[in-house]
């Protein structure tokens, strides 16, 4: 079972056990947290190429013109060089 699948299952179980209560974590924020962790793992992985990294941040929905996209690209270049 993939880590994201386990996390989804965990989130569903928490939601089901707290039915009727306010949920501080929304699905969007959970997805954002997962994406941040994934980007962090890709940055830390010396074997991850730039194409894979760019595909991951685009899959999250960041347009190439956004400030967040540019910041992540700067982080990539600092960590892996210009390649």
Res 74: pLDDT? 92
Name residues of the chain where pLDDT drops below 70.
1, 18-28, 83
Q: Give 1's DSSP letter.
A: -
- Whether pTM exceeds 0.85: no
User: Which residue ranges make up each domain of the chain?
Assistant: 3-18+27-80
Res 21: pLDDT? 63
Res 10: pLDDT? 81
CA separation for the pair 65, 31 (Å, rounded): 22
- The length of the chain is 83
Q: Report whether 30 contacts 11 (CB < 8 A).
A: yes
Helices (H), 1-83: 3-17, 27-44, 50-59, 67-80
What is the number of alpha carbons within 13 Å of residue 62 lying toward its C-beta?
21
In three-state secondary structure terms, 79 is: helix
């Amino acid at each position: 079972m993939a880590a994201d699948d386990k996390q989804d299952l965990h989130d569903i179980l928490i939601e089901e056990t707290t039915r009727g209560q306010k949920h501080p974590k929304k699905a969007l924020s959970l997805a954002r947290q997962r994406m941040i962790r994934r980007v962090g793992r890709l940055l830390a992985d010396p074997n991850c190429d730039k194409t894979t990294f760019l595909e991951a941040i685009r899959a999250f929905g960041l347009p190439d013109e956004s400030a967040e996209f540019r910041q992540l690209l700067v982080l990539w270049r600092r960590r892996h060089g210009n390649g």
